[in-house]
Amino acid sequence: MAATQPATTATASDSSISLRGVGKFFGKTRVLESIDLEIKPGEFCVFVGPSGCGKSTLLRIIAGLESVSVGELSIAGKRMNDVEPSKRGIAMVFQSYALYPHMSVYKNLAFGLKLGKTEQSEADRRIREAARMLQIEQLLDRLPKQLSGGQRQRVAIGRAITRQPKIFLFDEPLSNLDAALRVSMRSELSRLHKQLKTTMVYVTHDQVEAMTMADRLVILNGGHVEQVGPPLEVYHRPRTVFAAGFLGSPKMNFLRGEIAEVAPDGVVVKLKDGGTVRARVKSDGAKIGDAVTVGIRPEHLVLKAGEGGPLVATVLLTEDLGDHSIVHLDREAVEGRVLAKVEKVPVGEDKKVSFEVPTSECHVFDAKGIALPRLDPAPEV
Amino acid sequence: MTGTAVVKKSLFYLLVAAIVFYAVFPFYYAILSSLKTGTELFSVNYFPVKWNFDNYVGVFRDNPFATNIWNSVLVSFSTVALSLFLGVTAAYALARVHFRGRGLLLLCILGVSMFPQVAVLSGMFQMVRAFGLYNHLAALILSYMIFTLPFTVWVLTTFMRDLPKELEEAAILDGASSWVILTRVFMPLMWPALVTTGLLAFIAAWNEFLFALTFTLTNDMRTVPVGIALMSGASSHELPWGNIMAASVLVTLPLVILVLIFQRRIVSGLTAGAVKG
Amino acid sequence: MADRLTRSRVRSAWVFLAPMLVVLAVVAAWPLLRTIWLGFTNANLLKMSEAKWIGLENFTGKYGLLQDKVWWLAVKNTLWFTFLTVSIETVLGLVVALVLNRTFPGRGLVRAAVLVPWAIPTVVSAKMWSWMLNDQFGIINHILLGLGIISSPKAWTADPDLLMSSVVMVDVWKTTPFMALLILAAMQMLPKECYEAAEVDGVHPVKVFFRVTLPLIRPALMVAVIFRALDAIRIFDLIYVLTGTREPTMTMSIYARQQLIEFQEVGYGSAASTLLFFIVALLTVLYVVLGRVKLGGD
């Protein structure tokens, strides 16, 4: 059942989603824990994380396909824990499209409207408009099995659009498409969001989709929220080791060390394998001798020929990818070796190279994996 | 081809011929006999000498056979309709909803198919009388549920279990009630299973003898199996074999054609029931 | 996890189940219980309202089932019938299945032909075979006399010594297709590589059958055999139409019905029915338990 929205006065609570202390059990297994999240109206919010982190479950809880074990779910300010899925003002696009195989595309789009007793002419108008928006007008009489994967995906989206929901939910909708199609569908979905301006909650395990499509990211890990924020903020100012390591390819380099100096404008960390780095982070609570992890993204490492320092290592391997190269340094990181991503490699393999961890890009994480807050704001887009 | 290979192949085909002969000959002979009248019946031959349809006329003239056929048709179709309705609704609950005791219930339902018919005969007889259904076709339709429901529920449940969950969820989000999901989303996808169970139920109902014999009294309420079994001739010691054979052929021909057309469905239904059981 | 949405779904599930359960209770549960109860009474068909509870008299009393020679004859007949039909049908079914498992031109037609006996209503089969087994005009006698196997026409459906053979003959004809199809289905699920390997190794087909095929289809074969056996124990239609209530072929079902309807001894007949039910139930439970135990031990 879709409500007609007032044209201009969209109040703050119209399509917001609020999760307070939400937890979910399956028998004895805890799948989600203490989820506190506010999704703003009109926002494109992406739930991202590794498999099994609970992102799909969280989406399904918003949809009403899973029940809330603990806590409260509200949509547009109203408590939704016990409300039927079809009455929440939402529509969902499934990973496998879930089109009704025995119905034509038109009937697939019409099904929900007919059940909601929408008037025939109004229903027809909505269907045709959605079909036009998604460029599937010529497919209206076909059966799902006669369509390609991309076309089916559009029909699934169209089915959601015709219901004129306040909130769209997407459950890894692009995973079943091939790479090229995924890229074009990504931009189409973003375009759709700009056009419809409704709240969209999108689940994916693909960080590229997450980074490019989201207004805000929610990184989930093991059933709880690691970090919430706009993509670039999460990228440049990760709050936990997990968030730092999840975004960015190749992964951020993590180096073990301990605090050597504490100053009001940052700390100096002595690395385990030698050398020191400076970081501009809040230093209250940090003590000399604290075990910390330093994080530096491969693309932020500065490489120079020669052994001038500040840090030196041997180049083990260079992988040239055309527009950039990945350099494997003979220096241990927490997982594997230190990698640098550069446009041009200054020295050949088996030669020594100097590398620097710029203070402006240096992350420091305490023993629990929480980041020491950076003093500089994140770079603007 | 070597000598032994030729011998082996011919033996094989001989075996095939023997099997086909064994399977089909009795029916063939029944057709043959039904086309003979009077004294011809008393001579044995293997091929038709001349064709005479007197027996077919006699079947309807000397017996209420038309009524029997009509009764069987009515009962069988009603049995199928009722079984499918009850089976589909039950299968939805058993296949798509998790509740305590579900597995045990399914096993009990299957267990009913092991009941000997006589074990429920006296109880059912009393009940039929109590409901005022004695000598009424409704008694048969109702009582046949005891053997159509178990396998119908079992096959439909197994089939429905395999329908994708996301389809159901999409329908829930579209606002469909359980009934709508069952009738507008699932049933159109289940028609192979419906055809199979419908056929098997039809054949079982058409075939049934004990209940039809016990719960009906007058000729106008008798079904075909009972009608054929009770066919009597002019004298008390003489069975009208010609008529009986004609009746047998009339009744069997449509059934054989039905089975031959749908043999794949029927076989899969039977094997699914037995092998998974 | 009883939250409102789940609970309402479970509730609607029971609503969907209700019609079928009600019908089944009316048609199966109640009559069965009633029959068992009647077995403990002296009910009579003509005087049902005067039925009195007589405890175990129908079973263990002086005129009870356990003392009734005819009942024990029925039990013996049933078991003997079951043994004969199931073993013959299994062997013949295996042969037919093996034949149908090979691809040859016209296989579809042969399979259809094999289905014909199964498609024919039991009563009709019985009548057809009655006619073929007729002592004077029956074709069976004609063939056997012609081939010199017998010297004079046999009264297949009258001679007490031949009744069991006749009944087994007809049941085998009618039910072998069912066994053959089940066995064939099991065979077709076997991986072809075994056979191809055996062929390459030049193993004799008979050896292949006994050492490869048979062990692999054993589970499905056992299921089919049990099903058939449980069916055979309960048999009624075929025997009733072919040989009526003649003692040499009286099975437990026929005995029970005779008591119930012909002799109008509803109490006694119900007791017999109850015994039959428990025998079948016991065998079913045994099979399920043994089956589970075997699977668990694997």
- Give the model confidence (pLDDT) of A165-213 as tens digits: 999 999 999 988 888 889 989 999 999 999 999 999 999 998 899 999 9
| Residue B111: per-residue pLDDT | 87
Of B26, B85, B203, the CB nearest to C132: B26
Q: What is the mean pLDDT of residues A6-17?
A: 56
What would the DSSP string read from start to end of C18-81? Answer: HHHHHHHIIIIIHHHHHHHHHTTB---GGGGGG--B-TTHHHHSTTSGGG-HHHHHHHHHHHHH
| Residue B232: per-residue pLDDT | 67
| Residue A10: per-residue pLDDT | 42
| Average pLDDT taken over every residue of chain A | 89
Per the CB < 8 A criterion, the answer to whether B150 and B112 are in contact is yes
> Hey, are the CB atoms on B114 and C230 less than 8 Å from each other?
yes
CB within 8 Å of C234: residues ≥ 6 apart: B116, B117, B118, C253, C276, C280
Nearest by Cα to A292 from A326, A268, A312: A268
**Cα–Cα distance for residue pair C96/B155, rounded to 1 Å:** 26
List b or e across B25-43, with b for residues whose CB sees 16 or more CB atoms inside 10 angstroms.
bbbebbbbbbbbbeeebee
> If you ran DSSP here, which 8-state letter would residue B231 be given?
-
Structure tokens at B144: 């046949």
Chain A residues near residue C2 by CB distance under 8 angstroms:
none
Q: What is the mean pLDDT of residues C93-106?
A: 87
Give the model's confidence band at C61: pLDDT under 50 very low, under 70 low, under 90 confident, else very high.
confident
| Selected residue of A25, A61, A65, A67 to mutate for chain C interface (largest C Cβ count, 10 A) | A67
Q: What angle do CA A366, A371, A373 make, to 5 degrees?
A: 120
| pLDDT value at C215 more than 90 | no
Give the model's confidence band at C294: pLDDT under 50 very low, under 70 low, under 90 confident, else very high.
low
Structure tokens at C96: 């037919």
Local structure of A299: helix, strand or coil: helix
C281 touches chain B (CB under 8 A): yes
Angle between helices B263-276 and B191-207 (to 10 degrees): 90
**Cα–Cα distance for residue pair A221/A34, rounded to 1 Å:** 12
Give the model's confidence band at A327: pLDDT under 50 very low, under 70 low, under 90 confident, else very high.
very high
Q: What is the mean pLDDT of residues C1-11?
A: 73
| pLDDT value at B20 more than 80 | yes
Q: What is the mean pLDDT of residues C215-232?
A: 86
Give the model's confidence band at A8: pLDDT under 50 very low, under 70 low, under 90 confident, else very high.
very low
Helical spans, DSSP H, in C189-236: 192-201, 205-208, 214-233
Q: What is the mean pLDDT of residues A32-57?
A: 92
**Cα–Cα distance for residue pair A100/B185, rounded to 1 Å:** 7
A63 touches chain B (CB under 8 A): yes
What would the DSSP string read from start to end of A200-250? Answer: EEEEES-HHHHHHH-SEEEEEETTEEEEEE-HHHHHHS-SBHHHHHHSSSS
Structure tokens at C4: 């409102």
> Hey, are the CB atoms on C3 and A68 less than 8 Å from each other?
yes
Give the model's confidence band at A299: pLDDT under 50 very low, under 70 low, under 90 confident, else very high.
very high
Q: Which residue do the tokens 């297949």 mark?
A: C156
Residue, of B211 and C291, whose pLDDT is higher: B211
**Cα–Cα distance for residue pair B113/C230, rounded to 1 Å:** 10
Nearest by Cα to B204 from B159, B248, B154, B266: B266
Nearest C-alpha of chain B: how many angstroms from C287?
11
Local structure of C249: helix, strand or coil: helix
Least confidently predicted of A102-116, A347-361, B158-172, C134-148: C134-148
> Hey, are the CB atoms on A100 and B167 less than 8 Å from each other?
yes
Q: What are chain A's partners, defined as 3 or more CB pairs within 8 angstroms?
A: B, C
| Residue B145: per-residue pLDDT | 93
Of A25, A67, A69, the CB nearest to C5: A67
C290 touches chain B (CB under 8 A): no
Structure tokens at A275: 């050398």
> If you ran DSSP here, which 8-state letter would residue A251 be given?
P
Amino acid identity of residue A290, one-letter, is D
Per the CB < 8 A criterion, the answer to whether A339 and A263 are in contact is no
Q: What is the mean pLDDT of residues B82-107?
A: 90
> If you ran DSSP here, which 8-state letter would residue C210 be given?
I
B83 touches chain C (CB under 8 A): no
Per the CB < 8 A criterion, the answer to whether C203 and C215 are in contact is no
Nearest by Cα to A81 from C3, C121, B255: C3
| Residue C152: per-residue pLDDT | 79
> If you ran DSSP here, which 8-state letter would residue A86 be given?
G
Chain A residues near residue C4 by CB distance under 8 angstroms:
67, 82
Per the CB < 8 A criterion, the answer to whether C122 and C208 are in contact is no
Nearest C-alpha of chain B: how many angstroms from A160?
9
Amino acid identity of residue A89, one-letter, is G
| Residue B274: per-residue pLDDT | 54
| pLDDT value at A2 more than 60 | no
**Cα–Cα distance for residue pair B180/B175, rounded to 1 Å:** 9
| pLDDT value at C184 more than 70 | yes
Per the CB < 8 A criterion, the answer to whether C39 and C270 are in contact is yes
Q: What is the mean pLDDT of residues C104-129?
A: 86
Nearest by Cα to A209 from A54, A63, A49, A94: A49
| pLDDT value at B276 more than 70 | no
| Residue B234: per-residue pLDDT | 54
| Average pLDDT taken over every residue of chain C | 84
CB within 8 Å of C251: residues ≥ 6 apart: C74, C77, C78, C81, C235, C236, C239
Report which listed range, A8-17, A206-215, C63-72, is most confident: A206-215
| pLDDT value at A40 more than 60 | yes
- Would you tell me how many other CB atoms lie within 10 Å of the CB of residue B176? 20
| Residue B180: per-residue pLDDT | 92
| pLDDT value at C296 more than 50 | no
Of C224, C274, C284, the CB nearest to B119: C274
Local structure of A319: helix, strand or coil: strand
Of B19, B41, B277, the CB nearest to C114: B19
> Hey, are the CB atoms on C4 and A69 less than 8 Å from each other?
no
| pLDDT value at B160 more than 70 | yes
Q: What is the mean pLDDT of residues C91-99?
A: 90
Q: What is the mean pLDDT of residues A294-299?
A: 93
Which residue of chain C has the CA closest to B119? C273
Least confidently predicted of A298-307, A345-354, A358-367, C39-48: C39-48
Q: Which residue do the tokens 């009515």 mark?
A: B74
| A147 backbone dihedrals φ, ψ, rounded to 5° | -105, 155
Which residue of chain C has the CA closest to A27? C1
| Residue A43: per-residue pLDDT | 93
What own/partner pairs with CB < 8 Å and gap ≥ 24 does A97-100 have?
A97/A144, A97/A152, A97/A153, A97/A155, A97/A156, A97/A176, A98/A156, A98/B164, A98/B166, A98/B167, A98/B169, A98/B170, A99/A144, A99/A152, A99/A155, A99/A156, A99/A159, A99/B170, A100/A144, A100/B167, A100/B170, A100/B171, A100/B185
Length of chain B: 277
Give the model's confidence band at C134: pLDDT under 50 very low, under 70 low, under 90 confident, else very high.
confident
**Cα–Cα distance for residue pair A204/A16, rounded to 1 Å:** 21
| Average pLDDT taken over every residue of chain B | 85
- Cα separations (Å) of B184 from A87, A101, A103, C288, C298? 20, 11, 10, 38, 44
Chain A residues near residue B170 by CB distance under 8 angstroms:
92, 94, 98-100, 159
**Cα–Cα distance for residue pair A336/B256, rounded to 1 Å:** 72
Per the CB < 8 A criterion, the answer to whether C137 and B42 are in contact is yes
Which residue of chain B has the CA closest to A168? B173
Nearest by Cα to C213 from C198, C235, C228: C198
Q: Which residues pair with A262 in a beta bridge?
A: A267
Nearest by Cα to A365 from A232, A238, A271, A222: A238
Strand order in the sheet with A352-356: A302-305, A352-356, A311-320, A325-332, A337-342
CB within 8 Å of C164: residues ≥ 6 apart: C77, C80, C81, C84, C248, C249
Chain A residues near residue C11 by CB distance under 8 angstroms:
none
Q: What is the mean pLDDT of residues A307-331?
A: 89
Per the CB < 8 A criterion, the answer to whether B59 and B77 are in contact is no
| pLDDT value at C190 more than 60 | yes
| Residue B136: per-residue pLDDT | 86
B114 touches chain C (CB under 8 A): yes
Amino acid identity of residue C157, one-letter, is T
**Cα–Cα distance for residue pair A232/A219, rounded to 1 Å:** 13
A1 touches chain B (CB under 8 A): yes
B188 touches chain A (CB under 8 A): yes
Listed in order, strand segments (DSSP E) in A264-320 are 266-271, 276-279, 291-296, 302-305, 311-320
Q: What H or E segment, with its residue span, contains residue A184?
A: helix A179-196
Q: What is the mean pLDDT of residues A247-257?
A: 91
**Cα–Cα distance for residue pair C206/C204, rounded to 1 Å:** 6
**Cα–Cα distance for residue pair B46/B33, rounded to 1 Å:** 10
| Residue B233: per-residue pLDDT | 58
- Would you tell me how many other CB atoms lie within 10 Å of the CB of residue B149? 25
**Cα–Cα distance for residue pair C83/C88, rounded to 1 Å:** 8
Which residue of chain B has the CA closest to A1? B175
Which residue of chain C has the CA closest to B179? C16
| Residue A157: per-residue pLDDT | 93
Least confidently predicted of A101-110, A301-310, A356-365: A301-310
ipTM of the complex: 0.82
Residue, of A253 and C161, whose pLDDT is higher: A253
| Residue A324: per-residue pLDDT | 92
Least confidently predicted of A2-6, A175-179, A250-254, C184-188: A2-6
> Hey, are the CB atoms on C139 and B29 less than 8 Å from each other?
yes
**Cα–Cα distance for residue pair A360/A270, rounded to 1 Å:** 17
Per the CB < 8 A criterion, the answer to whether C81 and C251 are in contact is yes
**Cα–Cα distance for residue pair A113/A129, rounded to 1 Å:** 14
- Cα separations (Å) of C7 from B91, B99, B158? 19, 10, 24
Give the model's confidence band at B89: pLDDT under 50 very low, under 70 low, under 90 confident, else very high.
very high
C13 touches chain B (CB under 8 A): yes
| pLDDT value at B66 more than 70 | yes
